[in-house]
């Protein structure tokens, strides 16, 4: 997408982090924006900021993107308001640290619905609209470096991010086979100072169980502390919005911003090609070697 002005963008996860940065970039480029998040009060602040940056048309919709009916509401309101969709950016994501075998199933379901199913819900509706429009459109979905490498500690998160990358890759092939003029992309960053470590603040009621002893356990507390540390010590958020929008402008599919993970990616790829068992000790050694560079 070379010319953004006047084009219509749906951006989810817009109250915080990457979603908010993408709204700012879209506003500065003169796009018409539909900003979506489950946290309505913070979303309204994003809308006001977008107007300050020059957005003339922005609609803020409070929705739970893990519910199909809510995504239908977003798409329908977008078409009623603007009559077209040119850019889709699915950024909503949550994480609950903890061992995969110990994490309550409700957390697995919450993570799967938010990180993966939300992208399926939106693309299932938006792709046919884009194809019917007949002009060049873009989809850029946030998937995380956790979608191309694996490690310990957040099995559901890695699972959904790998699935999201596979979803976008395979759908991209299908769209090419159909001759669709839709450029897809996956944004796969490492740790950045977003709001991911505050996922509990926007846990939907249907996934709450305050009496479950897991949430009072030492494992849960340590996981939350670790998540807070890696996010707060991650890369500053500033600049990532411009990087991703440059990738959209160039119709770039893979957007991997943290190249210090290349060694892990190469190691795990070679394990597969050589049919070698995954080895945690070798993986940790690769991580430590990357830190020393």
Segment 263-280 shows an average pLDDT of 93
The pLDDT score that the predictor gives to residue 287 is 79
Specify whether 293 is located in the same domain as 211.
no
| Domain range for 123 | 8-257
Specify whether 238 is located in the same domain as 132.
yes
> Is 1 inside a domain boundary?
no
Instruction: Evaluate if residue 190 carries a pLDDT over 90.
Output: yes
What whole-number percentage of the chain has pLDDT above 90?
A: 91
Specify whether 102 is located in the same domain as 123.
yes
> Is 188 inside a domain boundary?
yes
What is the chain's mean pLDDT, rounded?
Answer: 95
Q: In this predicted model, what pLDDT tens digit does every residue of 206-259 receive, in sequence order?
A: 999 999 999 999 999 999 999 999 999 999 999 999 999 999 999 999 999 999
Question: What is the per-residue DSSP string for the chain?
Answer: ----TT-EEEEESTTSHHHHHHHHHHHHTT-EEEEEES-HHHHHHHHHHHHHTT-S-EEEEE--TTSHHHHHHHHHHHHHHHS---EEE--------B-TTTS-HHHHHHHHIIIIIHHHHHHHHHHHHHHHH-S-EEEEEE--GGGT---SSBHHHHHHHHHHHHHHHHHHHHHHHHT--EEEEEE---SBSSSGGGGGGG--GGG--TT-GGGGSHHHHHHHHHHHHHHHTSB-STTHHHHHHHHHHTT-SEE---GGGHHHHHHHHHHHHTTPPP-HHHHHHHHHHHHH-
Q: Which positions are catalytic?
A: 157
Q: In this predicted model, what pLDDT tens digit does every residue of 70-95 receive, in sequence order?
A: 999 999 999 999 999 999 999 999 99
Instruction: Evaluate if residue 200 carries a pLDDT over 80.
Output: yes
Specify whether 289 is located in the same domain as 174.
no
Segment 159-187 shows an average pLDDT of 98
Segment 126-145 shows an average pLDDT of 97
The pLDDT score that the predictor gives to residue 288 is 82
> Is 115 inside a domain boundary?
yes
The pLDDT score that the predictor gives to residue 270 is 93
Specify whether 211 is located in the same domain as 265.
no
Segment 138-167 shows an average pLDDT of 95
> Is 154 inside a domain boundary?
yes
Specify whether 253 is located in the same domain as 265.
no
Specify whether 252 is located in the same domain as 279.
no
Q: How many independent structural domains does the chain possess?
A: 2
Specify whether 253 is located in the same domain as 273.
no
Specify whether 253 is located in the same domain as 270.
no
pTM for this prediction: 0.95
Instruction: Evaluate if residue 181 carries a pLDDT over 90.
Output: yes
Specify whether 244 is located in the same domain as 266.
no
Segment 54-71 shows an average pLDDT of 96
> Is 2 inside a domain boundary?
no
CATH number at residue 188: 3.40.50.720
**pLDDT band per the 50, 70, 90 thresholds, residue 293:** low
């Amino acid at each position: 997408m070379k010319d953004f002005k006047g084009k219509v963008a749906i951006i989810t996860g817009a109250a915080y982090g990457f979603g908010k940065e993408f709204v700012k970039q879209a506003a500065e480029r003169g796009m018409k924006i539909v900003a979506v998040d489950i946290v309505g009060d913070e979303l309204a602040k994003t809308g006001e900021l977008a107007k300050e940056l020059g957005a003339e048309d922005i609609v803020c919709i409070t929705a739970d993107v893990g519910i199909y009916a809510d995504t239908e509401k977003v798409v329908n309101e977008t078409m009623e308001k603007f009559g077209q969709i040119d850019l889709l950016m699915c950024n909503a994501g949550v994480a609950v640290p903890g061992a995969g075998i110990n994490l309550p199933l409700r957390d697995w379901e919450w993570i799967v619905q938010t990180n993966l199913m939300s992208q399926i819900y939106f693309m299932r509706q938006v792709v046919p609209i884009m194809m019917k429009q007949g002009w060049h459109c873009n989809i850029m979905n946030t998937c995380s470096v956790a979608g191309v490498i694996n490690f310990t500690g957040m099995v559901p998160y890695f699972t959904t991010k790998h699935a999201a990358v596979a979803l976008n890759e395979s759908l991209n092939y299908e769209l090419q086979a159909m001759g669709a003029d839709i450029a897809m992309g996956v944004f796969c960053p490492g740790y950045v100072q977003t709001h991911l470590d505050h996922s509990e603040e926007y846990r939907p009621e249907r996934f709450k169980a305050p009496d479950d002893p897991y949430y009072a356990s030492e494992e849960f507390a340590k996981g939350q502390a670790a998540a807070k540390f890696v996010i707060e010590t991650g890369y500053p958020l500033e600049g990532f919005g411009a990087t991703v929008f440059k990738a959209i402008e160039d119709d770039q599919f893979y957007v991997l911003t943290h190249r210090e993970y290349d060694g892990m990616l190469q190691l795990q790829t070679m394990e597969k090609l050589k049919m070698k068992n995954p080895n945690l000790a070798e993986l940790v050694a690769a991580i430590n070697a990357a830190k020393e560079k």
